[in-house]
Amino acid sequence: AQSVSQHNHHVILSEAASLELGCNYSYGGTVNLFWYVQYPGQHLQLLLKYFSGDPLVKGIKGFEAEFIKSKFSFNLRKPSVQWSDTAEYFCAVNAASSASKIIFGSGTRLSIRP
Amino acid sequence: KAGVTQTPRYLIKTRGQQVTLSCSPISGHRSVSWYQQTPGQGLQFLFEYFSETQRNKGNFPGRFSGRQFSNSRSEMNVSTLELGDSALYLCASSLAGLAGVVNEQFFGPGTRLTVL
């Protein structure tokens, strides 16, 4: 069965600090990977996705993520965070063989000190 | 284009009752997925419907059920409510068609269910 682990439950950073949120998944086959963000009081929205090709994917608002197949990881990065990045971030995985079943991690709450 | 809408936005029920939640997907989207979101658990997949058929199912008891109508609108039902069913229930729609083709999921605002 697929599973997703997000190791950091709550991360607190100052503005302009660099960010890296960890995500590991367990599934041996071909996967599609996602990062979603939920800003306070707003809907979940897609930050970025990896289906195939270049393992370094760029998303909205300056976020990027790198798929490392050998480590079963898909870490989210941003070189310089802003106060407006305060949100909850969810990593998600879909096994290519299971249509639209997407498994989410438990989320990482990011707090940015102004 | 209107987004995913969910009704009602808030519900308060008591143990043992049953509840029906509704989701209207984005126009043209035929896949609807349901998730349960609780603090510390993240989003847990309930089920996914495509063309009125349940295509995928998560690990929830049979008290949780759903259906999809010909216009792609979906409902989920929870019977014999338990305190632990208190959660935010999210619906997401996508263009996903054939199995193995994954498209971006668009989420609704959710229905906050409180079971007393």
Count of residues for chain A?
A: 114
Q: Tell me how far apart the alpha carbons of residues B13 and B70 are, in angstroms, rounded to a whole number.
A: 29
Residue of A nearest to B50 (CA): A100
Which candidate from A45, A94, A105 shows the least CB-CB separation from B42?
A105
Whether residue B35 and residue A104 make contact (CB cut-off 8 A), yes or no, is yes
pLDDT in tens, A71-100: 999 999 999 999 999 999 999 998 877 666
Per-residue pLDDT at A85: 97
Task: Check whether A39 has a pLDDT greater than 60.
Answer: yes
Cβ contacts (< 8 Å) between A60 and chain B: which residues? none
Both tokens assigned to A77? 């990065």
- The most distant pair of C-alpha atoms in chain A lies apart, rounded to whole Å, by 44
Query: What's the distance, Cα to Cα, between the start and end of chain B in Å?
Result: 37
Residue of A nearest to B94 (CA): A100
The bridge status of strand A108-113 relative to strand A10-14 is parallel
Q: Among positive and negative, which fits the CA dihedral A95, A103, B63, B94? A: negative
Cβ contacts (< 8 Å) between A104 and chain B: which residues? 35, 42-45
Cβ contacts (< 8 Å) between A92 and chain B: which residues? 43
Strand partners, B98: none
- pLDDT band for B100, please (50, 70, 90 cuts): low
Residue type at position A64: E
Q: Specify the range with the lowest mean pLDDT, choosing from A65-79, A93-107, B101-115.
A: A93-107
Nearest Cα residue to B111 out of B83, B75, B79, B81: B75
Which candidate from B50, B101, B105 shows the least CB-CB separation from A102?
B105
Calculate the CA A91 to chain-centre distance: 4
The single residue listed with the structure tokens 């438990």 is A106
Cβ contacts (< 8 Å) between A32 and chain B: which residues? 102
